[in-house]
Structure 1
């Protein structure tokens, strides 16, 4: 029996790695903005069926994005030290299998969305289009991180549509702030691979900003945090929200301190801290409504 399980695991492992389910931090980076939007839209705990749909949908859509990203980058990943062991790059999964996996994940995500209202369903088509477009942008523009930010932040108008069936101004303020946050932390992520990306011709904001990268990321972080603060004050949030926001501010400052020497390992550590940043904002918001 153990041998059968070993065989099953050996067959499943490349697909788990393809979907990044062995690295759940990416799911949380996508989930935090979803939770902000749901709590703001519902002014507290959202309806549990809607919450369940968005949590499950976040995990599926993150996997969907990882699959199409690896498919688009399958010829580049083999030349980047951090990615050469990915299952498409090393041949454990074929391009056809990757596309089939992407379609299955997209279908499962859509099956969740159709339990919501029509407005949210229509917005979901934009979500899948942006997610599919992002991986190819790094060939044509130095701002693929902006497209990634739009993909991550698009869950915000979807959440407002699901709860309120409308898109108030606060939804777009949160959307813009989240896009800027993703732009900041994915630029840090891009700084990890900058040397390899320059050699193989991939574009990124990390390459565009050059020696001004730390200053640029600091400014973008500041703009995102300003937007998050404006959103909280607009929704009349109080002490617990401000405490969570203050912790996120300190984490952003600490990220810049860690990454100041631009060493790849340090930049990656700084990037990983954004999970705690998002968690601080989320916990502060969740505590603020009941307390």
Structure 2
């Protein structure tokens, strides 16, 4: 495919209005920052929060808080921004023909002609190398996990072509940080981290099914698969199942974490996290309207708060 000819700068259709990229970033950098979804920060939060869950529960698990944990938290934040950007750039490269046929994504930098494929590849490599530099400061076991994370990241953009469950592959990629951050603190991977990872995957199935309902008509026309298309009018019932799975698996992760050395009060505080998270997900279900792309986007973005809720209780468990 030939590279698109340069096009005038344009805001991406589903970007946050008045975001810093469109209003304050240098003009030459805006197309590349849009490739990284810097104008749509919700994805970075959804990638970062499982990292912080894993770190907090790892500290509860061994009752050991070290100065290096502050670096792990900061490193995860920087790495999440960079790798979310690299992953989104890779997604836009592989999906450039599909994006050109979907109303919501036609304004993205590659199909709109703001960035060439070669330029996007260069930008993706730069972000990946910077993230790898941060990863090298972590425990060797975490470094290995970080490298393995590239597998689901590489596969995800193609998943919608061969399975009705591409959201599973997104969950595998987006929640990997729960495993990585736990291992960065502990130096090894333990069962509670795996349960937490599984809870994150169920949560991703919940919020990304809502997100996918924005494009359901265009996806049907061009043959792109998604859980939104698969579930159709039964979406609410499936989302309830994902809610139960998220709360149940995270609750198990907390139990296996806190019953090792933590106090009863710490266990109760940590268990309040998935309980409260479940209520926020239930609130989303009450407001769900799969026929309204605008409502689906609002609910999808609200999952930043959903992910913060258990983190607050996990941190509280460290203090009691």
Identify whether the pair has TM-score above 0.5, normalized to the shorter chain: yes
Which whole-Å deviations, capped at 9, do the CAs of 1:182-232 have from their partners, x for residues lacking one?
Answer: 111111111111111111111111111122111111111111111112222
1:235 partner SS: helix
Equivalent runs, 1:192-271 vs 2, <5 Å: 192-236=214-258, 237-260=266-289, 262-271=291-300
Q: 1:193 to 1:165 in 2, by over 3 A?
A: same
The equivalent of 1:56 in structure 2 is 78
Q: 1:141 to 1:9 in 2, by over 3 A?
A: same
The equivalent of 1:273 in structure 2 is 302
Runs of 5+ in structure 2 lacking a partner? 1-22, 259-265
> TM-score of the superposition, structure 2-length normalised?
0.84
Q: Deviation of residue 239 (structure 1)?
A: 4.3
Whose helix proportion is higher, 1 or 2? 1
The answer to whether residue 116 in structure 2 is matched with residue 94 in structure 1 is yes
Equivalent runs, 1:1-291 vs 2, <5 Å: 9-43=26-60, 45=65, 47-236=69-258, 237-260=266-289, 262-291=291-320
Which whole-Å deviations, capped at 9, do the CAs of 1:222-263 have from their partners, x for residues lacking one?
Answer: 111111122223333444434443332221111111114532
Q: What is the RMSD computed on CA atoms of the aligned residues?
A: 1.8
1:11 partner SS: coil
Which whole-Å deviations, capped at 9, do the CAs of 1:106-131 have from their partners, x for residues lacking one?
Answer: 11111111112221222122112211
Aligned residues: 286
Q: Deviation of residue 22 (structure 1)?
A: 1.6
Q: Structure 2: how far apart are the matches of 1:212 and 1:240?
A: 34
Does the 8 Å contact 1:74/1:89 carry over to 2? yes
Does the 8 Å contact 1:248/1:280 carry over to 2? yes
Q: Deviation of residue 268 (structure 1)?
A: 1.8
Does the 8 Å contact 1:18/1:67 carry over to 2? yes
Q: Structure 1: how far apart are the matches of 2:139 and 2:41?
A: 29
2:161 partner SS: coil
> TM-score of the superposition, structure 1-length normalised?
0.92
Q: 1:99 to 1:261 in 2, by over 3 A?
A: closer
Q: Structure 1: how far apart are the matches of 2:121 and 2:291?
A: 35
Does the 8 Å contact 1:251/1:273 carry over to 2? no
Q: Deviation of residue 93 (structure 1)?
A: 0.3
Q: Structure 1: how far apart are the matches of 2:25 and 2:82?
A: 22
1:27 partner SS: helix
